[in-house]
Chain A
Amino acid sequence: MDKLIISNLSKSYTNGINALTEVSLEVPKGMFGLLGPNGAGKSTLMRTLATLQEPDKGSIFLGDIDLLHQKNEVRKILGYLPQEFGLYPKVSAQTLLNHLAVLKGITKRNERKEIVTSLLHKTNLYDVRKQYLGGFSGGMKQRFGIAQALLNNPKLLIVDEPTAGLDPAERNRFYNLLSEIGEKTIVILSTHIVGDVKELCTRMAIINQSRIVLSGNPIELIHNTEGRIYQKTIFKNELAAYKKEYRVINEKLFLGKPVIHILSDTNPANGFVPVKSDLEHVYFSQIKKNR
């Protein structure tokens, strides 16, 4: 299977905001997590990969296919689940899925029927296939989204923040489905939730302020920060002081009191205790560093 190679991709908007700066990535088959805070440029990158947006410069190749110039070739093997989308309210799931299958080039009626039925089963929408989409819940809508993305047996599947708005159980099921697909396909999953990547992805990249700041195998990345993370529970009014002194990469509340995590090559003592490194630490260390 071919790799997706992104080289020196840059994009800035007319209002002067840089969305992507010299982004280069190699994405092999399997689940690839693109992690970054809101506004980092994730969706811009995803839309560019989905042939919906033009970069200012750079190139993207999927094997031999020049993604920026052979858009229709890419679209044939592309599955895309946008971050936000709507559905025709007065059309049934089956009808719309069938229609989208036509758009993707599945023109043999029986073939189309077969894949639509199996995807409806797969996403467990078969029972509601005749129901108008206007009545779908958030989870059902999202499942419909993934069903349509899989219509053409995509070689490149792009899912942009797919778990937003899903309850935890719904999210897990969604992951199962994705990881199954990831065995045969390049799946790029963008998210701002570290847990998503941790659970699913064999490779990942962190994007922050339009740049790729880190990429690699999650386990290796965690390994790099291993033994450098320390934790301490403090009082609220001390926070500022700690921030001055240490490289605080994360702060959260535990039983109402702030717990801070710091990154340090040496043991800072002072009541800090070492903790096991986690992907979250990797992520926050990158985000904070650049801030």
Chain B
Amino acid sequence: MMWYELFKFELRYRAKRAETYVFFIFLFLFSVFGTDFIFQGVELGKVKQNAPLVIAKTMGAISGIFMIMASFIMGVPVLRDYRYQIESLIFINPIKKRDYLIGKFLGSMVVLLFVFSAILWGMSASEFMPWQEENLLLPYRFLSYLKPFVTIVLPIVFFGASLFFVSGSLSKKLLVVYTQGIILFVIFLLTKAIKNEHLQAILDPFSLTTLTAITKNWSVEQRNSLLVPFDGLVAENKLFWLALGVMALIIGYNKFHFSRKKKKNKSSKKPIEPKTLETSVNKVINIPIVKLQYNAQSQCIQLLEHTLFYIKSLLKETSFWAIVLCGMIIILVNSVNLGTSYGVDSYPATYFIVEELQETSIFFFVVILMFYSGELIWKEREAKLDLIFDSSPISNLIHLAGKFVALVCIYVILIVALIISGLLFQAYNGYYNFQFAVYFYGFFLEILPFLVLYTFIAFFFQVIFNRKLLGIIFVMVFFILNIASEFYGFQHSLYKFGGKALGTYSEMNGYGHFLVPYLWLKTYWLVFGIILLIVSSALIVRGTETSFLKRCKQLRSRFDKLSVRLLSALVVLFVSIGGFIFYNTNVLNEYWTINQEEEFRANYEKNLKQFEHIPQPKIVNTNLKLELYPETREYYLEGCYLLQNTQTEPLTEVHVQKLIASDVILKDVTFEGGAAKLDMYDRYNYSIYELKEPLQPGDSLKMNFIQTFTSAGFEDGNGSTKIVRNGTFFNNTDFPSLGYNRKYELKDEELRKNHGLPTRQNKASITDTRNLVNARSGSDSNGTTFEMIIGTSEDQTAVAPGALINSWKQNGRAYFQYEMDRKMINFYSILSARYAVEKQQWQATNAPLNEPVALEIYYHKGHEYNLDRMMKSMRQSLDYFSSNFSAYQYKHLRIMEYPRYAAFAQSLPGTISFSEALGFVFHIRDETDVDMAFYITAHEVAHQWWGMQVEAANVQGQHFILETLAQYSALMVLKKNFPDEKVQQFLKMQLEDYKLGKTKEKELEVPLYLVEGQDYIYYNKGAINMYALQEYIGEQNLNIALQHFIADWRSDGGRIKSCNKRYATSKDLLGYFRKVTPDSLQYVITDLFETTEPIDNYVDR
């Protein structure tokens, strides 16, 4: 039983190795946190955290991430014999190949199973951790863990084990062992590109796609209760990988030979033994006298030569070129997400490509970072050249710095390769507007500093631990901790390693104001990194003393003059930059920790909730003068509100809420007739003004104020994206408002509980009469007239609602005066940017005598792609809505583009703010895509009716009126202008989105008419059900119902609205539907809107 001896030997050997236990403990701990960590940010909805499906997926993911450990364990047993060069001792013994391989394989396999069982123990232990909340968990069931471990994890572990064992044994190269786990992971990523769902499910080694596929149609209850079955797709998937594993073993077994060494490269032929030494000794060769130099210049030369040497050596690694190739291919193969929304891709603009490349390549970079840093640090010692190196007079710092710079150059080479593949991708897609600067910034400003900083860490750990594997593992641990610590409140960039990511790039605003603080912080951490490198250079093993303590003792003598001088200069620099950053983030600006913010919000509610429903006057006229300074990101606002008492009792107090932000200052608040300010709530920027003379019902008074916004220095992180250099976009919620503001309340139920606050309802109940009088939360107006003058940079155009009645230039600034001739909702936005404008006119067909409406699109130059589609949509929508619902109320309709810091379009009086990320850069292929630029525009135009003409009470069902009707309206315009197949395609997308949303739902699905914040109901289901309704009762009838609804409930003089003094609810709307519906079909309305009947009954599938 020779194999048994080898088996036992392997086990005994491993039992003595620290690595075995480190792996186990690491995997155990990771698994304890695994579920929380992996599903961070993914909505589980009502599916519990320990549902069998979730456990199975988590296990799949963890085993995928840690395949690399399997490689560490399985790749080395044969290799080890070669590395310690005892193979000839072993192989001359009468061991059969079979016994040798079986013993080694089984021995390592047992160790591997031991290590991977940590997933099982760790995950099932996680349920009992103190931070778990019982209501998110199902009762504990060990089988829920055991079964997926056996069916999901073990097969792939076997496959990995077989593959890694074979490749490690055949290649006999450590680097293969290190990289093959990653290659498997890359294969996993590549399977995502496969379009065929069935094939993808079978090829996914970690079964994540497989599990998603088989449970696609599972209900929440099934997801929570059913164990993942081992049949069908799962079985096929697992058997496929098991078979591959067996195949690998068979091939490996046949290929393996007891040879002393693998064959030499063909390039190195049999060495020519040169003439013997004798000949040379006979000739007298004088060894020239050399001048050894140790000045700064020669040290620079040493650094340079060193760097080049290591670059060349890394470039000789096949693995590097494999990574480069993978990195380049993955973007060409993988389905690239080009800002895709609603199933439509955008043009492959450079920033999209850069973002995609960043996302897919970061994995490769991290791999290079972790492993090549280890390779480099250990290069001399692995070649046993260390004693020769160590006895040379090279400074440790130069030695280490050379390796460091070499690794950085390797990143740069990969970056260049990625950029080339990005350019190829763009060219392949027929897009030739290459923006090299964007490529450069995306990689050299965003990715490279991150890599450089973590390389410092990797070098440091390699030096400290002086074990390659431990170093690599601790880099991983550090990486994870640095990210995870954020969730525990460690957020300030001054102590969070590396600082924060750079803000989003926008074609309108570039990197805007994000860049300066970002560069300061990177410099700060870079200096820290260099300090770390110098410390590492003083601690690195030189000679044969490896104990950490001994190295520490030598520390003082290790610091040569250069290092000491450098070090002290750098520490001074580090502290100074840190001080400067602190001054900016915490002195010039206010810095709030998460806890402080929570505390503040909780106290705000506790102190001020009492005022939520106190009677307040309403704003009926707004007059603003805004001086906007985009360059310095500041503004100065002089405002005047006309406040009217619409109540039946006199009012004595006006409550003014300033925007809670330290850089916004509200001053000189005065009231006509005078008022005294009570400042007990100053802490919440909430002031109560006691009017000298009470405001009588029906009377009104003026409130004047000045508000300023200043940006001093910079904030931690990216700061606000409202006022920016090009593409300012903010709305009047930044201006003073009246009364209590619900938006400052804590929303997370868990946090609320911790702070002793009651449950918060998203929307008030549909029967809550106090809220029926408000169209928005805490509404301080029932409609206002509006006048505004905006001054901005000379090259920018500022846009607000109303007709542009005047514009002029003065003192190198541009001024725009807007005036709204009728009442509008008190919700408007202000934009300013260097706009190009597309102008047209529209004349209502049913009112040819009316003044034509000015149609304008304010867009960023270069974003002309879809202007025609948007223009067409505006016309068609105005046509349809004005002839079927009611006349359009304004003399203008504008679309304004704003930077892609957000990705929505929003309709406000006569104006539509439209994100750069949406519509403007869609690459709509008419054969395959729905014209979403057209549709979104139509939807937003519809809001000029649903939201601007008719407002809905701020209660349940509000979005049924506002959003669902806008969906219906847009859908009708789509139907009129496009063939039916496009409409069906659109409805199918809605159905998919609805189903997706439903699986994430945490509560029970509500019927449409009671919808609160669930966008999958009011958008997706809403569109489908309204479409069904018009099929049942006829488009014409439905439009008549809507016509009446508008006439009765419009905010300015609606028939019922005026006498009821409240806003419309979904119940009111359903009444109009019922009126035009024959008795025989009344049930349809019940089914579609008042119940949660399965949607399938109404949609052709």
Are A52 and B544 CB-contacts (below 8 A) given A84-B384, A100-B392, A103-B302? yes
Of A103, A124, A170, the residue contacting B392 (CB under 8 A) is A103
- What is the bound-complex CA distance between A176 and B280, given in angstroms? 11
Contact check, B560 vs A124: say whether CB atoms are below 8 A apart.
no
A273: Cβ under 8 A from any B Cβ: no
- Find chain A residues with CB under 8 A from B195 CB: none
Fill in one digit per residue for A67-98: 1 if any B CB lies within 8 Å of its CB, else 0.
00101100110101010111111110001000
A39: Cβ under 8 A from any B Cβ: no
- Find chain B residues with CB under 8 A from A51 CB: 390-391, 543
Nearest-neighbour CB distance to chain A for B914, whole angstroms, equals 58
- Find chain A residues with CB under 8 A from B545 CB: 53-54
Contact check, A105 vs B271: say whether CB atoms are below 8 A apart.
no
- What is the bound-complex CA distance between A51 and B297, given in angstroms? 25
Contact check, A118 vs B286: say whether CB atoms are below 8 A apart.
yes
- Find chain B residues with CB under 8 A from A174 CB: 277
B1062: Cβ under 8 A from any A Cβ: no
B277-298, CB < 8 A from A: 277-281, 285-294, 297-298
B300-323, CB < 8 A from A: 301-302, 305-306, 309, 313, 316
Contact check, B288 vs A99: say whether CB atoms are below 8 A apart.
no
- What is the bound-complex CA distance between A153 and B290, given in angstroms? 7
B139: Cβ under 8 A from any A Cβ: no
Contact check, B291 vs A127: say whether CB atoms are below 8 A apart.
no
- What is the bound-complex CA distance between A203 and B272, given in angstroms? 38
A171-187, CB < 8 A from B: 173-174, 176-177, 180
B668: Cβ under 8 A from any A Cβ: no
- Find chain B residues with CB under 8 A from A124 CB: 274-277, 279-280
Smallest CB gap from B395: residue in A: A72
Nearest-neighbour CB distance to chain B for A104, whole angstroms, equals 5
Are A102 and B293 CB-contacts (below 8 A) given A76-B393, A86-B384? no
Contact check, B271 vs A137: say whether CB atoms are below 8 A apart.
yes
Are A54 and B387 CB-contacts (below 8 A) given A72-B395, A90-B316, A128-B274? no
- Find chain B residues with CB under 8 A from A180 CB: 281
A221: Cβ under 8 A from any B Cβ: no
- What is the bound-complex CA distance between A101 and B554, given in angstroms? 27
Smallest CB gap from A184: residue in B: B287
Contact check, B288 vs A54: say whether CB atoms are below 8 A apart.
no
- Find chain A residues with CB under 8 A from B269 CB: 135
- What is the bound-complex CA distance between A123 and B276, given in angstroms? 9
Are A140 and B271 CB-contacts (below 8 A) given A86-B384, A121-B280, A152-B292? yes
- Find chain B residues with CB under 8 A from A272 CB: none
- What is the bound-complex CA distance between A87 and B302, given in angstroms? 20
Are A76 and B293 CB-contacts (below 8 A) given A50-B391, A86-B384, A124-B275? no
Fill in one digit per residue for B63-75: 1 if any A CB lies within 8 Å of its CB, else 0.
0000000000000
B268: Cβ under 8 A from any A Cβ: yes
Contact check, B302 vs A88: say whether CB atoms are below 8 A apart.
no
Contact check, A132 vs B384: say whether CB atoms are below 8 A apart.
no
B891: Cβ under 8 A from any A Cβ: no
- What is the bound-complex CA distance between A111 and B791, given in angstroms? 69
Contact check, A132 vs B268: say whether CB atoms are below 8 A apart.
yes
- What is the bound-complex CA distance between A118 and B383, given in angstroms? 26
Interface of B is mostly: loop
Smallest CB gap from B284: residue in A: A180
Are A76 and B292 CB-contacts (below 8 A) given A82-B388, A148-B388, A173-B277? yes
Are A127 and B557 CB-contacts (below 8 A) given A115-B288, A121-B280? no
B363-416, CB < 8 A from A: 379, 383-385, 387-395, 399
Contact check, B293 vs A108: say whether CB atoms are below 8 A apart.
yes
Contact check, B290 vs A53: say whether CB atoms are below 8 A apart.
no
Smallest CB gap from A86: residue in B: B384
B542: Cβ under 8 A from any A Cβ: yes
- Find chain A residues with CB under 8 A from B274 CB: 124-128, 140
Smallest CB gap from A83: residue in B: B387
B98: Cβ under 8 A from any A Cβ: no
- What is the bound-complex CA distance between A117 and B277, given in angstroms? 15
Of A90, A100, A135, the residue contacting B388 (CB under 8 A) is A100
B273: Cβ under 8 A from any A Cβ: yes
Contact check, A54 vs B309: say whether CB atoms are below 8 A apart.
no
- What is the bound-complex CA distance between A69 and B394, given in angstroms? 16
- What is the bound-complex CA distance between A115 and B293, given in angstroms? 15
Are A52 and B277 CB-contacts (below 8 A) given A72-B395, A106-B292? no
Contact check, A107 vs B302: say whether CB atoms are below 8 A apart.
yes
- What is the bound-complex CA distance between A104 and B391, given in angstroms? 9
Are A105 and B306 CB-contacts (below 8 A) given A51-B543, A128-B272? no
Contact check, A107 vs B280: say whether CB atoms are below 8 A apart.
no
- Find chain B residues with CB under 8 A from A29 CB: none
B925: Cβ under 8 A from any A Cβ: no
- What is the bound-complex CA distance between A121 and B388, given in angstroms? 21
Nearest-neighbour CB distance to chain A for B321, whole angstroms, equals 14
A24-65, CB < 8 A from B: 47, 50-54
A261: Cβ under 8 A from any B Cβ: no
Residue count of chain A within 8 Å CB distance of chain B? 69
Nearest-neighbour CB distance to chain B for A45, whole angstroms, equals 13
Nearest-neighbour CB distance to chain A for B542, whole angstroms, equals 7
Q: Give the interface size class of chain B.
A: 35 or more
Contact check, B298 vs A105: say whether CB atoms are below 8 A apart.
yes
Nearest-neighbour CB distance to chain A for B266, whole angstroms, equals 12
Contact check, A131 vs B285: say whether CB atoms are below 8 A apart.
no
- Find chain B residues with CB under 8 A from A100 CB: 388-389, 392
- What is the bound-complex CA distance between A47 and B544, given in angstroms? 8
- What is the bound-complex CA distance between A63 and B51, given in angstroms? 77
B496: Cβ under 8 A from any A Cβ: no
Are A75 and B393 CB-contacts (below 8 A) given A102-B302, A102-B306, A134-B264? yes
B655-674, CB < 8 A from A: none
- Find chain B residues with CB under 8 A from A114 CB: 288, 290
- Find chain B residues with CB under 8 A from A14 CB: 547
Contact check, B391 vs A54: say whether CB atoms are below 8 A apart.
no
Contact check, B387 vs A176: say whether CB atoms are below 8 A apart.
no
Smallest CB gap from B289: residue in A: A153
Nearest-neighbour CB distance to chain A for B713, whole angstroms, equals 45
B742: Cβ under 8 A from any A Cβ: no
Are A176 and B543 CB-contacts (below 8 A) given A52-B391, A82-B388, A115-B287? no
B550: Cβ under 8 A from any A Cβ: yes
- Find chain B residues with CB under 8 A from A47 CB: 387, 543-544
Contact check, B385 vs A54: say whether CB atoms are below 8 A apart.
no
A1: Cβ under 8 A from any B Cβ: no
B267: Cβ under 8 A from any A Cβ: yes
- What is the bound-complex CA distance between A108 and B294, given in angstroms? 11
- What is the bound-complex CA distance between A199 and B729, given in angstroms? 91
- Find chain A residues with CB under 8 A from B289 CB: 153
A240: Cβ under 8 A from any B Cβ: no
Smallest CB gap from A143: residue in B: B277
Of A76, A91, A169, the residue contacting B276 (CB under 8 A) is A169
- Find chain B residues with CB under 8 A from A111 CB: 288, 290-291
Nearest-neighbour CB distance to chain B for A59, whole angstroms, equals 14
- What is the bound-complex CA distance between A107 and B309, given in angstroms? 14
- Find chain B residues with CB under 8 A from A102 CB: 301-302, 305-306, 309, 394
Contact check, A153 vs B385: say whether CB atoms are below 8 A apart.
no
A282: Cβ under 8 A from any B Cβ: no
A binding-site residues for B, Cβ under 8 Å = 14, 47, 50-54, 69, 71-72, 75-76, 78, 80, 82, 84-91, 95, 99-108, 111-112, 114-115, 118-119, 121-128, 131-132, 134-137, 140, 143, 145, 148, 150-153, 169-170, 173-174, 176-177, 180
Apart from A51-B390, A69-B557, A72-B393, 10 more pairs, CB < 8 Å: A52-B543, A85-B387, A86-B383, A102-B305, A103-B392, A104-B292, A106-B292, A134-B268, A151-B290, A177-B277
User: 5 nearest interchain CB pairs?
Assistant: A52-B543, A86-B384, A173-B277, A75-B393, A107-B298
Offer 17 A-B interface pairs, CB within 8 angstroms, sorted by A. A14-B547, A52-B391, A52-B544, A53-B543, A75-B392, A85-B387, A103-B389, A104-B394, A111-B290, A111-B291, A114-B290, A122-B285, A131-B272, A137-B273, A140-B274, A173-B277, A180-B281
